Structure 1
Amino acid sequence: MRELTKPTGVDADPRATEMIRFWLANNEPNISLLLGMWEDADDSDVDELWAWGNVLADIAQHIANGLEQSHGWDYSSSMETLRQAFIQASRERDLGLEGGYVE
């Protein structure tokens, strides 16, 4: 099993919170999400879907940045490809997603 290490500095923050875990296992994506963190917080007026959109944008930026550093790929081109792939995959996979919410 290949597990990633935590980013530097995470352990130093007592309020650090893991939001998403994505695994490829048994030839399928396996995902755990911390849903409702913003919606359920007493001191937050952040829209949950808007916040998750920002999380997805952060992930895309880290992918493009990492590929630029590790493989020399152009950051802007990578971001555009990621945007187009996200839009296409979202449309194609809109129906039939399996899984459930675990409390």
Structure 2
Amino acid sequence: MADAKQLLIPEDARQDPKAFELLRVWVADGAQHVSLRAGIWEDPAAWGMMLADLAGHIANSYEQGAGLDREEVLDRIRESLEHEWNSSTDELSGELSE
């Protein structure tokens, strides 16, 4: 039985021997805790592409699961991202580790 706290690994990722995990985000003690493969891409812009794709997946899940309009969900995500970008609600901290 899978750990109820962890998400399932997508089937394509389990089947591909070259697949690897990019990041994990946990909520603990009321804060986000992140583990990421920071140096995977030479150009940090690749993270922006990944985050945009992730927003699309999130919007799809709201459309499929809750019947919300995909574009409206993306607009809400974008608004929230811009607000947090300009006025962070959290003080980010951490360090690189192996």
TM over 0.5: yes
**Distance in 1 between residues matched to 2:30 and 2:90, nearest whole Å:** 19
**Distance in 1 between residues matched to 2:14 and 2:90, nearest whole Å:** 38
C-alpha displacement of 1:25: 1.0
Matched, 1:97 2:89: no
> Could you say which residue in structure 1 is the equivalent of 2:17?
14
Q: Secondary structure at the match of 1:4?
A: coil
Letter in 1 for 2:81: F
> Which of 46, 49, 57 matches 1:54?
49
**Distance in 2 between residues matched to 1:36 and 1:64, nearest whole Å:** 27
**Distance in 2 between residues matched to 1:37 and 1:68, nearest whole Å:** 31
Which 5+ residue runs of structure 2 have no aligned equivalent? none
Q: 1:19 to 1:73 in 2, by over 3 A?
A: same
**Distance in 2 between residues matched to 1:9 and 1:33, nearest whole Å:** 20
Query: RMSD between aligned alpha carbons?
Result: 1.6
C-alpha displacement of 1:91: 1.3
Q: Secondary structure at the match of 1:38?
A: coil
Extract structure 1 runs of 4+ deviating beyond 6 A: none
Matched, 1:85 2:88: no
TM-score (norm 1): 0.85
Which 5+ residue runs of structure 1 have no aligned equivalent? 40-46
C-alpha displacement of 1:24: 0.6
